[in-house]
């Protein structure tokens, strides 16, 4: 029985494209990569609170050791809220290219989930180099599951 369970778990890795947990609604790897470094700045858009920016800075520092500051830079991590572009509550789109990172959320919760995906991508990378990709995600089901033993 244990061997069957391990086999079924390994099948999930064959079909997961991104390595992200949970698997996003869409994930498409594109050409190139983005390297986090001291030249990178955070560029928050309208509606993104200072507290949220501080959370992102703390998570990036804990993951990479880099202190990313708020600034307009050639390479940026742009964050904004746009309810018209992202129509699903708690949804987000994350775009990583050679030039930078763009994160758009329906709301601050969507931005938060996008940052969690970004942190996972950074954690999976070597030397804070993130593969270029496009990710769209949002809650598919509002029903939670609790398994107790």
- Is the pTM here over 0.85, yes or no? no
Q: Is 87 within a domain? A: yes
Instruction: Give 3's pLDDT tier (boundaries 50, 70, 90).
Output: low
Region 23-50: mean pLDDT is 93
Q: Is 2 within a domain? A: no
Q: How is the chain classified by DSSP, letter by letter? A: -HHHHHHHHHHHHHH-SS--SSPPSEEEEEEEEEE--TTEEEEE-TT--HHHHHHHHHHHHHHHS--PEE---SEEEEEEE-TTT--STT-EEEEE-SSEEEEEESSHHHHHHHHHHHHHHHHHSSTTEEEEEEEEE--S---------
Instruction: Give 135's pLDDT tier (boundaries 50, 70, 90).
Output: very high
Q: Is 7 within a domain? A: no
Assess whether pLDDT exceeds 60 at residue 12: no
Assess whether pLDDT exceeds 50 at residue 13: no
Q: Is 93 within a domain? A: yes
More confident residue, 135 or 8: 135
More confident residue, 105 or 15: 105
Q: Is 142 within a domain? A: no
pLDDT reported for residue 39: 87
Q: Is 76 within a domain? A: yes
What domain count does the chain have?
1
Output the domain CATH number for residue 92.
Answer: 3.30.379.10
Q: Is 143 within a domain? A: no
Range of the domain at 92: 23-137
Q: Is 13 within a domain? A: no
Region 13-23: mean pLDDT is 71
């Amino acid at each position: 029985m244990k061997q069957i369970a391990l086999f079924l778990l390994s099948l999930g890795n064959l079909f997961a494209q991104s390595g992200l947990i949970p698997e996003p609604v869409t994930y498409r790897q594109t050409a190139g990569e983005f390297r986090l470094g001291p030249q990178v700045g955070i560029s928050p858009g309208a509606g993104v609170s200072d507290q949220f920016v501080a959370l992102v800075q703390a998570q990036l520092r804990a993951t990479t050791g880099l202190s990313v500051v708020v600034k307009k830079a050639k390479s940026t991590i742009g964050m904004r809220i746009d309810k018209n572009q992202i129509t699903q509550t708690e949804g987000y789109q994350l775009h990583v290219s050679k030039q930078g990172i763009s994160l758009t959320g329906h709301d601050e919760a969507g931005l938060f989930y996008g940052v969690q995906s970004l942190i996972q991508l950074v954690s999976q990378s070597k030397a804070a180099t993130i593969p270029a990709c496009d990710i769209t995600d949002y809650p598919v089901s509002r029903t939670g599951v609790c398994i107790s033993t």
